[in-house]
Structure 1
Amino acid sequence: MNERFPKAAHESAGEEHAPAKPAAAEAQSAPAVQPAPAPVVAAPAPAAEPAPVPAAASADDELLTLQKDARQWALPTGDYANLRHSGLKQITAENVGKLAPAWQFSTGVLRGHEGAPLVLNNVSVMDSSGKTLTTDVMYLHTPFPNIVYALDAKDPAHQILWKYEPKQDPSVVPVMCCDTVNRGLAYGDGKIFLAQADTTLIALDAKTGKLVWSVKNGDPSKGQTSTAAPHVFKDKVLVGIAGGEFGVRGHITAYSVKDGKLVWRGYSMGPDADTLIEPGKTTHLGKPVEKDSGITTWEGDQWQTGGGTTWGWYSYDPELNQIFYGSGNPSTWNPNQRPGDNRWSMTLWSRDLDTGKAKWVYQMTPHDEWDYDGINEVILADQDIGGKKVKTAVHFDRNGFAYTLDRTNGELLVAEKYDPAVNWATKVDMDKSSKTYGRPLVVDKYSTQHNGEDTNTQNVCPAALGSKDEQPATFDPATQLFLVPTNHVCMDYEPFRVSYTAGQPYVGATLEMFPAGKVLGDGTNHTGNFIAWDAKTGKIVWSNKEQFSAWSGAVSTDGGVTFYGTLEGYLKAVDSKTGKELYKYKTPSGIIGNVMTYESAGKQYVAVLSGVGGWAGIGLAAGLSKSNEGLGAVGNYASLANYTALGGVLTVFGLQE
């Protein structure tokens, strides 16, 4: 810990604050901490063909200005739209073979390193000696205990400008479902935002690292934790909650960027006053949602422990003033214990940023029977469909279907399988005149509800970790393709009866996972693919096999190159158009982080965190060995130990001189 920071400021981040009250209209004051001076970020120079973003909502929206500058990476996914595309093009398909490590930084923490750093250029910042300088700053996070570093990205020594280490109770670790991961930081209004594992949302002065305010977003004693990156949209910072395996009722909450006051909170299920659904106005597949549907589709009061957590990524369209995200699995994993559609778990949401009111919802997997959380990113890409430009929302769900919707109204345009092994449903019904319109047509053989409790339903594809988990895809405007890291894994799934106790696991199923080739009978044993997807037609354009699940977020560039990482530790570069592998480099540990790119001192760099873990790497991260441990993942990824080991290293690549 940097001694120049006041001790009291650090300790306050670990204090127990009362959880925010679950009412949209109520405001909660943040701790009385005087705001520190905001850092000065110089106005960016025009970048060559920056990545497209939606039009500005207001002239003073700093983040819209920053995300248009391809040299900087100011948001967790690069921009509001979750495109994860960069306008940088110094590194091309022709010269990427000359890429080499430029510098590295050890985070000092093991376990799984997800997410990506932020980079802001020309920042007025204070170094460890108390001297103020203007430089390019990289803001970096770690898994628990969630250390935050500010590194000098321009200086050859890349010194630590400041370091912040939260004070957290380690008892939160056992209630973190699938490793002690954290998916990154957010920036806004001169502050760096971190959602700690213990659900404390903190705002740090980006210049000094001092605590500005903190607020408690949940209660770890009830199984509530935080793993997602916060997202700043306009004057609000949005944060979700994790803990679906502990019966946590999911919610997304908007706090004031300025002082941490609660603005609104929207739950995934419960009465309309909690979900912020407006009966008769909020729509589902074009039809008005019925009153209190977040209760009536559950048996009794099961909605109170109904899951639907919100630990993924959030996107925002300033023109519509709407945010988009997905909710997770219903609790428990035993579908026989919770009759009904269990709304609104497994749902894509569109909410008004200022009020939280739901404009439209779409439930992808009603009455989930396989833990196909719907939390994966919603990518806001404007595409030409049927001869007209459509504001689409594209989502690659854990259930193995890729959805293209009109984000202005929630109309379902495309729903197709993006992994050839998917077998739990034959298709999504696209007939608008059908009673099952928009629903997956479930195959009884693979239905854990149909087969019943204490019955092992075999060869279900995909496995619970999905055809893709949280590892985000990228959209390349030049090719109009989505480049997607995927899993090629199936499972056996046996549900059993379980009772709810606050703070204790509420799973109710035993799983075993294995390569999809076992079910397909094609003689293959790989468990991942990196694919290019046409979201207008719902077809795979090209596909590259990966030995292990591709558990790293991808980034595409105007140089025609897309980067991603692999579980055994390779950073890879492929031709965005053809998929041809152009470069790979083995980093110190397996990669579950998201690749990003930035420019400093006129040179383009590519950066990624390596540190094996997450659900796929939980066996290594937590020292588990039984095949059905780690919620069924350990056996499938046991051979990872032959290729990599625990680590925590940032590697930054640049072209060799």
Structure 2
Amino acid sequence: MKKLMLLTSGIALTAGTMAYANDDLVARMNDPKQWAIQTGDYANQRYSELNQITAENVGDLQVAWTFSTGVLRGHEGSPLVVDDVMYVHTPFPNIVYALDLQNEGKILWRYEPKQNPDVIPVMCCDTVNRGVAYGEGKIFLHQADTKVVALDAKTGEVVWEAQNGDPTKGETNTATVLPIKDKVIVGISGGEFGVRGSVTAYNMADGSVAWRAYSMGPDEDILMDPQATTHLGQPVGENSGTNTWEGDQWMIGGGTTWGWYSADLEENLMYYGSGNPSTWNPAQRPGDNRWSMTIFARDIDTGMAKWVYQMTPHDEWDYDGINEMILTEQTIDDTERKLLTHFDRNGLGYTLDRVSGELLVAEKFDPAVNWTTGVDMDPASENYGRPAVVAQYSTEQNGEDVNSTGICPAALGSKDQQPAAYSPQTELFYVPTNHVCMDYEPFRVSYTAGQPYVGATLSMYPAPDSHGGMGNFIAWDGKTGEIKWSLPEQFSVWSGALATAGGVVFYGTLEGYLKAVDATSGEELYKFKTPSGIIGNVMTYESGGKQYVGILSGVGGWAGIGLAAGLTNPNDGLGAVGGYAALSDYTALGGQLTVFSLPN
């Protein structure tokens, strides 16, 4: 492993890029008083320069105001704040509210789409939505039924609509979108229904399609040049998206794209990950199943892939690779490089050169991870970049209808989509994690469009020989690929983190606590229990000269699907219901925004 030395100052990927457009959004992302994009900035750092709230005074936080969303399912994502207007979203039916922060949060407008409720049972793991986006005076909503809607930010009137997928085939949406330059980047959910993943760029002005890139298939479908697109420094070669699949299985191959997107405007590249291959029974899909479980770097204008890296070839555990890509600039061997850091569901934290795709670091960020002994980091090895699978925990080697026990992490990963944060002050990543293991029994399943295409029965439970809890909140040192400190939690930390210039890091817990910890030491400085479990992402903004911190509470998501959907069978929720059964002893359904500030 190469050691990394981080620069003493943080990067500003959006600074100095006003010539690139979308100028409007770039300017707002550079203004710390606003929270204009779900990820904080194009780098996905989730770091705010606001510093009124500090490690010294955060213990004085009080609830400033609250807002009920009126929906009782899992609330992921966060509000946006643009020009003293807050935009709040909900799970299905995906209501959007515009609140006037200069007038006691008065509702300026609301938009409630009319969706067919038949989409609800097709959604994998609750009816969540990770938030709206802003660009060029529009609010962009990607609905559960895959309709993309552009709303006038001032009036809420529909400017244009585009249908991105077909729910009758299992195509749904849970993710936000990425407005960048003159385009809106949109993904798709439905890997558990045999959907073939894709990313689509819509023209921001009118909703017309600029390009679409599939995760697997012929070169022209996945927008790859066999000689120019590289994997670990080597050309991918012809038919890379079909020749590691048997027959035409790639057509129902999964690799959906329901995670987070980041971008480097200087390089004109966007980054994201693809999800699990379909089915969950690995014996039914021999081969590496490219390009599922893959990090993609694509040209923003054309969609052409510059480089790819497949993290978990021939996935046997449902370790979706969709988690966020955090962009930083660091010095390696006295050379400044542009880097990408990714905490994958498979339990490995990766660092790559985001320009070339060179793999620099791959280390476990939870000591419980046991399905692999690690990644081969020798460029001369035929297994370079591949994880070495431990036979005992290989669901394929153990065979169909055999229950493989004690696999760590569970299918929901050492971290799911809940985004980490990065502070240029401490040069640390702050990572919400799941300390959970599983039993996994694959079985043969047939494909029918619009029907579940899973092929495995799971059960989940806390990792053994630990604190007995199901989660940790950790600080990760990018220089060494090591855990700096770790805070145990009773349940998985399913909330997105926020780091601030005040030396404070915020996150939420499944019981409903908003917590503030010291960015350097991890010392707990403040906690407040909101009305329901937190799976939303902490955000911050300034209004009237005062800094506020906001969080959506409303238990649900994969971890809370038992509560959200009223499920009691331990194997339901793809194994999560039994694992998180005790959660009902600590929280109940809700749907509320809670906003905090220091006393006057």
TM-score band, normalised by shorter chain? over 0.9
Q: Which residue of structure 1 aligns with residue 65 of structure 2?
A: 103
Q: Which residue of structure 2 aligns with residue 83 of structure 1?
A: 45
SS where residue 562 of structure 2 aligns? helix
Give the alignment partner of residue 74 of structure 1, picking from 33, 36, 39: 36
Q: Which residue of structure 1 aligns with residue 161 of structure 2?
A: 214
SS where residue 641 of structure 1 aligns? helix
Q: Which residue of structure 1 aligns with residue 455 of structure 2?
A: 508
- Aligned runs of 1:517-528 on 2, under 5 Å? 517=464, 521-522=465-466, 524-528=467-471
Mapped to 2, the partners of 1:264 and 1:448 lie a distance apart of: 37
SS where residue 71 of structure 2 aligns? coil
Q: Deviations over 1:534-578 (max 9, x none)?
A: 123110001000110000000100000000100000000001111
Give the alignment partner of residue 119 of structure 1, picking from 74, 81, 106: 81
Q: Is the 8 A contact 2:10 2:423 kept in 1?
A: no
SS where residue 497 of structure 1 aligns? coil
Q: Which residue of structure 1 aligns with residue 175 of structure 2?
A: 228
Q: Does 1:377 align with 2:339?
A: no
Question: By how many angstroms is 1:58 displaced?
Answer: 4.1
The percentage of aligned residue pairs carrying the same residue is 70
Q: Which residue of structure 1 aligns with residue 13 of structure 2?
A: 53
Amino acid at match of 1:653: F
Q: Which residue of structure 2 aligns with residue 411 of structure 1?
A: 358
Q: Which residue of structure 1 aligns with residue 238 of structure 2?
A: 291
Q: Deviations over 1:53-111 (max 9, x none)?
A: 34444435222211111000001111011010000000000000000110000000010
Mapped to 2, the partners of 1:154 and 1:80 lie a distance apart of: 27
Mapped to 1, the partners of 2:139 and 2:11 lie a distance apart of: 23
SS where residue 65 of structure 1 aligns? helix
Question: By how many angstroms is 1:384 displaced?
Answer: 2.4
Mapped to 2, the partners of 1:160 and 1:270 lie a distance apart of: 46
After TM superposition, the runs of 4+ consecutive aligned structure 1 residues lying more than 3 A away are 54-58
SS where residue 576 of structure 2 aligns? coil
Mapped to 2, the partners of 1:220 and 1:153 lie a distance apart of: 36
Mapped to 2, the partners of 1:117 and 1:383 lie a distance apart of: 31
Q: Which residue of structure 1 aligns with residue 576 of structure 2?
A: 633
Q: Is the 8 A contact 1:51 1:70 kept in 2?
A: no
SS where residue 99 of structure 2 aligns? strand
SS where residue 462 of structure 1 aligns? coil
Q: Which residue of structure 1 aligns with residue 101 of structure 2?
A: 153
Give the alignment partner of residue 207 of structure 2, picking from 260, 266, 287: 260
Give the alignment partner of residue 566 of structure 1, picking from 504, 509, 517: 509
Q: Which residue of structure 1 aligns with residue 349 of structure 2?
A: 402
User: What count of residue pairs does the alignment treat as equivalent?
Assistant: 590
Amino acid at match of 2:490: Q
Mapped to 2, the partners of 1:73 and 1:313 lie a distance apart of: 16
Q: Is the 8 A contact 1:53 1:68 kept in 2?
A: no
SS where residue 563 of structure 2 aligns? helix
Let me know the Cα RMSD of the aligned residues.
Answer: 1.0
SS where residue 303 of structure 1 aligns? helix
Q: Is the 8 A contact 1:201 1:215 kept in 2?
A: yes
Q: Which residue of structure 2 aligns with residue 5 of structure 1?
A: none
Q: Which residue of structure 1 aligns with residue 593 of structure 2?
A: 650
Q: Which residue of structure 2 aligns with residue 359 of structure 1?
A: 306
Q: Which residue of structure 1 aligns with residue 140 of structure 2?
A: 193
Which stretch has the larger CA shift, 383-392 or 306-315?
A: 383-392
SS where residue 448 of structure 1 aligns? coil
Question: By how many angstroms is 1:383 displaced?
Answer: 1.6
Give the alignment partner of residue 538 of structure 2, picking from 564, 589, 595: 595
Q: Is the 8 A contact 1:556 1:576 kept in 2?
A: yes
Q: Is the 8 A contact 1:50 1:86 kept in 2?
A: no
Q: TM-score, normalised to structure 2's length?
A: 0.97
Q: Is the 8 A contact 1:56 1:64 kept in 2?
A: no
SS where residue 573 of structure 2 aligns? coil
Q: Deviations over 1:284-327 (max 9, x none)?
A: 00000011111000000000000000000000100000000000
- Aligned runs of 1:13-32 on 2, under 5 Å? none
SS where residue 66 of structure 1 aligns? helix
SS where residue 295 of structure 1 aligns? coil
Q: Which residue of structure 2 aligns with residue 12 of structure 1?
A: none
Mapped to 2, the partners of 1:535 and 1:348 lie a distance apart of: 19
Mapped to 1, the partners of 2:16 and 2:218 lie a distance apart of: 34
Q: Which residue of structure 2 aligns with residue 435 of structure 1?
A: 382
Q: Is the 8 A contact 1:56 1:319 kept in 2?
A: no
Amino acid at match of 1:544: L
Mapped to 1, the partners of 2:335 and 2:547 lie a distance apart of: 35
Amino acid at match of 1:82: N
Q: Is the 8 A contact 1:325 1:375 kept in 2?
A: yes
Mapped to 2, the partners of 1:391 and 1:288 lie a distance apart of: 21
Mapped to 2, the partners of 1:63 and 1:165 lie a distance apart of: 25
> Any gaps of 5 or more consecutive residues in structure 2?
1-8
SS where residue 397 of structure 2 aligns? helix
Mapped to 1, the partners of 2:216 and 2:417 lie a distance apart of: 22
Mapped to 1, the partners of 2:16 and 2:296 lie a distance apart of: 22
- Aligned runs of 1:1-16 on 2, under 5 Å? none
Amino acid at match of 1:142: T
Q: Deviations over 1:598-636 (max 9, x none)?
A: 000000000000000000000000011111110000111
Mapped to 2, the partners of 1:606 and 1:142 lie a distance apart of: 18
Mapped to 2, the partners of 1:457 and 1:536 lie a distance apart of: 35
Q: Is the 8 A contact 2:446 2:453 kept in 1?
A: yes
Task: Provide closer, same or farther for how the CA distance between residues 286 and 51 of structure 1 changes in structure 2, counting only shifts above 3 A.
Answer: closer
Give the alignment partner of residue 578 of structure 1, picking from 511, 515, 521: 521
- Aligned runs of 1:459-474 on 2, under 5 Å? 459-474=406-421
Mapped to 2, the partners of 1:435 and 1:257 lie a distance apart of: 44
Mapped to 2, the partners of 1:58 and 1:538 lie a distance apart of: 34
Q: Is the 8 A contact 2:184 2:201 kept in 1?
A: yes
Amino acid at match of 1:606: V
Q: Is the 8 A contact 2:553 2:592 kept in 1?
A: yes
> Any gaps of 5 or more consecutive residues in structure 1?
1-48, 122-135
Q: Which residue of structure 1 aligns with residue 338 of structure 2?
A: 391
SS where residue 517 of structure 2 aligns? strand
Q: Is the 8 A contact 2:44 2:325 kept in 1?
A: yes
Q: Does 1:332 align with 2:279?
A: yes
Q: Is the 8 A contact 2:556 2:563 kept in 1?
A: yes
Mapped to 2, the partners of 1:53 and 1:302 lie a distance apart of: 39
Q: Deviations over 1:419-442 (max 9, x none)?
A: 010000000000111000000000
Q: Which residue of structure 1 aligns with residue 187 of structure 2?
A: 240
Mapped to 2, the partners of 1:576 and 1:359 lie a distance apart of: 35
Amino acid at match of 2:24: E
Q: Which residue of structure 2 aligns with residue 127 of structure 1?
A: none
Q: Does 1:552 align with 2:512?
A: no
Q: Does 1:202 align with 2:161?
A: no
Q: Does 1:65 align with 2:27?
A: yes
